[in-house]
Structure 1
Amino acid sequence: MLVVLALGLGYVRLRHGPISLNFMVAPIERGIAA
């Protein structure tokens, strides 16, 4: 459960972080949707 929470927080930080981190967002979104 804590791992999911940490991943969720990291995901949100990536979404609102520098554009240079956006390359990580697409694979994460695919992982969540799968």
Structure 2
Amino acid sequence: MQQEPICTVLFCSTKVLAERQWQKAKDMNAQKPKI
């Protein structure tokens, strides 16, 4: 029962993806004119 490495890799890549999406959203919000 040694599934830790796979889970860690999946978790890490998911975290990276989420952070990238968040950064993209932040950039888009920054470019948007404030109402």
- Normalising TM by the smaller chain, what interval? 0.5 to 0.7
CA RMSD of aligned residues (A): 0.8
Structure 1 unmatched ranges of 5 or more: 21-34
Scaled by the length of structure 2, what TM-score is found? 0.51
In structure 2, distance between residues paired with 1:10 and 1:18:
14
The superposition leaves residues 1-24 of structure 1 with CA deviations (integer Å, 9 ceiling, x where unpaired) of 00000000000000001303xxxx
Instruction: Looking at secondary structure, tell me which structure has more helix per residue.
Output: 1
Which stretches of structure 1, 4 residues or longer, exceed 3 Å deviation after superposition? none
Gaps of 5+ in 2: 1-15
In 1, the alpha carbon distance for the partners of 2:25 and 2:33 equals 13
Identity %: 10
| Structure of higher CA gyration radius | 2
